[in-house]
Amino acid sequence: MNLASIRIITADVDRLVGFYEMLTGVTADRPAPVFAEIVTAAGTLAIGDQATVALFGEGSAHPADNRSVIIEFMVADVDAEYDRLEGRLDAVVQVPTTMPWGNRSLLVRDPDGNLVNLFAPVTADAIARQER
């Protein structure tokens, strides 16, 4: 089994796609107006309109209602990303900080309030974990 994607349900696909295109530098694939995918080498972030929820089961997901998942992107240099994004982010939760497990991390919120972590392993142990 392989993880194919993580999907965010939103009330404003264009706004959320614009945020993730700006954040990642990746242009979204848009197979339908109600659906988009940000495809990276490691995985796909899918973005679906709230109208698509009925296809999975009415009421099974709610836009802008996440308080338990962090969307994470590994980057080469967290501080460089912070400099690039400074002034373009509405909500910075934590400026670049080295975490106890050896990753340098920048935490922001997307326009729907989802927590997003841009991180890079910076200690020898953290780098070794990523090389597994």
Can you give the residue range of the structural domain that contains 18?
1-64
Co-location of 83 and 46 in the same domain: no
Could you list the beta-strand ranges (E) of the chain.
5-10, 29-32, 35-39, 44-49, 70-74, 91-98, 103-109, 115-121
Of 12, 31, 64, the residue at which a domain comes to its end is 64
Co-location of 52 and 76 in the same domain: no
Q: What is the pLDDT of residue 2?
A: 87
Co-location of 49 and 89 in the same domain: no
Q: What is the pLDDT of residue 120?
A: 97
Domain count of the chain? Answer: 2
Report the C-alpha gap between 2 and 17 in whole angstroms.
Answer: 24
Q: What is the pLDDT of residues 11-56, one digit of tens each?
A: 999 999 999 999 999 999 999 999 999 999 999 999 999 999 999 9
- Tokens at 103, concatenated: 């990753």
Contact of 91 with 43, CB cutoff 8 Å: no
CATH number at residue 122: 3.10.180.10
Distances (CA, A) of 68 to 2, 50, 75, 113, 130: 22, 19, 22, 11, 23
Co-location of 116 and 72 in the same domain: yes
Report the C-alpha gap between 77 and 90 in whole angstroms.
Answer: 21
Of 64, 88, 115, the residue at which a domain comes to its end is 64
Co-location of 59 and 72 in the same domain: no
- pTM (2 d.p.): 0.93
Q: What is the pLDDT of residues 79-110, one digit of tens each?
A: 999 999 999 999 999 999 999 999 999 999 99
